[in-house]
Amino acid sequence: MAELVWKGKNGSNGRLTDSHSLQTCESFDGGEKAGARPSTADDWHNRLIVGDKADVLPALLHEFAKQVDLIYIDPPFMTGRNFASYSDRWSKDLDVYLQWLYKTLILLHQLLAHDGCLYVHLDWRTTHYARIILDEVFGFAPNAAGPGFKNEIIWHYQSGGRSRRSYARKHDTLLLYSKSAEYCFHGERIGERRGHERRNHMRKQVGDDGRVQWTIHSAGKLYSYDENNVLTPSDVWCDISHLQQKDPERNGYATQKPAALLERVILASSEENDLVLDCFCGSGVTPVVAEQLGRRWIACDQNPEAIQLTRERLLGREELRPFVVQAAALQRDNA
């Protein structure tokens, strides 16, 4: 299998003699809010964690190795910019960025359940590197069979300007990987009705009851589809808008993603009460949507302001299950 090599490549977390732990700073009982949902387990609390993923993810491994059902990450894109909430400059050193990403993906693979899915959200700058690294971590399977790569999803949008020296860059990429061939996927939850519009070379038939049936011959067989059949979405998503500056959904976080994007990911790749992880939660879109859809969640970010914003969004909900705010603690072994 092909392998991507960079200066300083090292698969270990570099802190094998350190002890990682999580300390609870605040605890919120969802039962205190009107209409709150009861906890889905005897003492389960969702988790909002402040700390660098290099400390948080090893701490989570002690409890959740091979137990996370869905992971979505929207990590830094190596834009070379400083945002109010974080720096994405990397000293213009691609080797440093790739090593950071590699170590992150190794830890996430260890947390992911056997039938779990990982979505990695990037753009044109580093997606091609990430895919090769993911093939190394998850394994390469031709034709997307078995563990490893499943989809390259193009999220197309219309925000931003237009360059005169190149084609306008108007999409992000979500790479979908699974740990095994038995992974959760429900395209019917996020698809659209086949409807009355003709597709491909299908033949339209209208029954006595007025309902439309579509038929097509393929390989000597006749296939028939009702107008109400749900089509699995394609890997190009054009129907979810990028958040504009005056969008009422915006909360001031520079790289905030629309809730509709996370809703599609979570509905397609998890069941109710499954455990969802986002270790770059930013403004809190993932935990908020996971909460709305009845999933358990763990959300992390190294920026205290991001954690505070997410905390406020959660506490503003009418329905809320118990959650705790935690901080990563690192105890070094000097032996």
Fold of 18-190+235-332: Rossmann fold (3.40.50)
pLDDT for 309 equals: 95
Which residues, at least 6 apart from 69, have a Cβ–Cβ distance to it below 8 Å? 113, 115, 116, 117, 184, 270, 271, 274, 275, 276
Distance between CA atoms of residues 300 and 298, nearest Å: 7
| Average pLDDT estimate for 305-319 | 95
Confidence of residue 145 (pLDDT cuts 50, 70, 90): confident
Helix, strand, coil percent values for the chain (each to nearest 5)? 25, 30, 45
pLDDT for 18 equals: 63
pLDDT in tens, 150-173: 999 999 998 777 888 999 999 999
Q: Which range is least confidently modeled, 41-50, 73-82, 116-125, 206-215? A: 206-215
pLDDT for 39 equals: 47
- Rounded to the nearest 5°, which phi and psi values hold at 37? -80, 145
The closest alpha carbon to 174, from 194, 147, 154, belongs to: 154
pLDDT for 16 equals: 43
Is residue 14 predicted with pLDDT exceeding 90?
Answer: no
* Structure tokens, 130: 């990430």
What is this structure's pTM?
0.89
pLDDT for 98 equals: 97
Q: Are 157 and 121 in contact (CB under 8 A)?
A: no
Report CA Rg, the chain: 22
Query: Which residue spans within 123-187 are E strands per DSSP?
Result: 148-156, 171-178
- What is the side-by-side order of every strand in the sheet holding 236-237? 18-28, 323-332, 46-50, 296-301, 275-278, 68-73, 112-122, 171-178, 148-156, 236-237
Distance between CA atoms of residues 92 and 100, nearest Å: 14
pLDDT in tens, 17-65: 468 899 999 999 875 453 444 445 568 999 999 999 999 999 999 999 9
pLDDT for 322 equals: 96
Q: Which range is least confidently modeled, 3-7, 17-21, 119-123, 231-235? A: 17-21
* Structure tokens, 135: 């093939």
pLDDT for 31 equals: 57
Q: Where are the domains of the chain?
A: 18-190+235-332, 192-231
The closest alpha carbon to 305, from 247, 244, 252, 261, belongs to: 252
pLDDT for 41 equals: 53
Q: Are 71 and 106 in contact (CB under 8 A)?
A: no
pLDDT in tens, 201-253: 677 777 777 777 778 877 888 777 776 778 889 999 999 999 988 889 999 88
More confident residue, 31 or 149: 149
Instruction: Give the CA count within 13 Å in the CB-facing half-sphere of 3.
Output: 8
Is residue 139 predicted with pLDDT exceeding 70?
Answer: yes
Q: Are 171 and 237 in contact (CB under 8 A)?
A: no
